[in-house]
Amino acid sequence: MIKSELVARLAEANPHLYQRDVERIVNTIFDEIAGALARGDRVELRGFGAFSVKERPARMGRNPRTGEPVEVDAKHVPFFKCGKELRERLNTSEPVTADAGFSGNVPGAAD
Amino acid sequence: MNSKTLTRADLSEAVFREVGLSRTESADLVESVLENIASHLVAGETVKLSSFGSFSVRQKGGRIGRNPKTGEEVPISPRRVLTFRPSHVLKDNVNKALSGNGQDTAATPE
């Protein structure tokens, strides 16, 4: 699913809203999360997950083509940790994997 | 660095300010957005949000783990995990704001 499909679904479920308002709502939510991360803040959404920023120290890397060592600057990277409830939901339903033929059992799938 | 934690309430507040719906409706919409994303992920679908990032579900095989405290072997059953890949826009914005670079974090093969 891509953003426009998400917007379309929400618009369908909320017929009293204009599609462009739904689009603004979706953009506002993700801009707010992105803005928080850019300030170094965390965003915690119970049941869904938490967004935070991790600091990666500077290190010596290597150009994989030439083998030449290169300095890699310290950096800050956005990070997401799946929430408990969503993690449990992912593992209680039948996995709908792209590769057909998968029939392994998933913990908790039995009921 | 005094870092804050935002919650659903802050997201609803932003929607309320930006779009002018009632507070209750703003909160309901934030919830529907998250629930929509979650249910697609549970169905095994990838969710891509341009200029933000993509969420995808990966199947992991079972393996033998070890309790790091006791050294005891414990089986880890096959499971599905959610991964988030931030978009370049998000990575750059975060890195530029916090490390003062981000433009030329080269060597990120795409």
Q: What is the ipTM for the molecules in this complex?
A: 0.84
Question: What is the separation, in whole angstroms, between the first and last Cα of chain A?
Answer: 29
Does residue A63 share a domain with residue A79? Answer: yes
Long-range contacts of B72-79 (CB under 8 A, 24+ apart): B77/A106, B77/A107, B78/A104, B78/A105, B78/A106, B78/A107, B79/A90, B79/A91, B79/A106, B79/A107
- CATH of residue A78's domain is 4.10.520.10
Average pLDDT rounded to a whole number, residues B24-46:
96
**Number of domains forming the structure of chain A:** 2
Average pLDDT rounded to a whole number, residues A64-72:
93
- B8·A46 Cβ contact <8 A: yes
- A90·B57 Cβ contact <8 A: yes
Q: How far is A44 from chain B (nearest CA, A)?
A: 5
Does residue A31 share a domain with residue A54? Answer: no
Q: Is the pLDDT reported for residue A101 higher than 60?
A: no
Does residue A80 share a domain with residue A51? Answer: yes
Q: How far apart are CA A46 and CA A70, in angstroms?
A: 41
Average pLDDT rounded to a whole number, residues B23-33:
96
Does residue A62 share a domain with residue A24? Answer: no
With cut-offs at 50, 70 and 90, classify the pLDDT of residue A30: very high
Q: How far apart are CA A78 and CA B93, in angstroms?
A: 10
Residue B1 has a pLDDT of: 56
Q: How far is A97 from chain B (nearest CA, A)?
A: 6
Q: Is the pLDDT reported for residue A104 higher than 70?
A: no
Q: Which residue has the higher pLDDT, A71 or B104?
A: A71
**B56/A contact by beta carbon, under 8 A:** no
Share of chain A above pLDDT 90, in %: 82
Nearest to B84 by CA among A78, A40, A74, A90: A78
Judge whether A60 lies within some domain. Answer: yes
Mean of pLDDT over chain A: 87
Q: Which domain holds residue A62?
A: 47-94
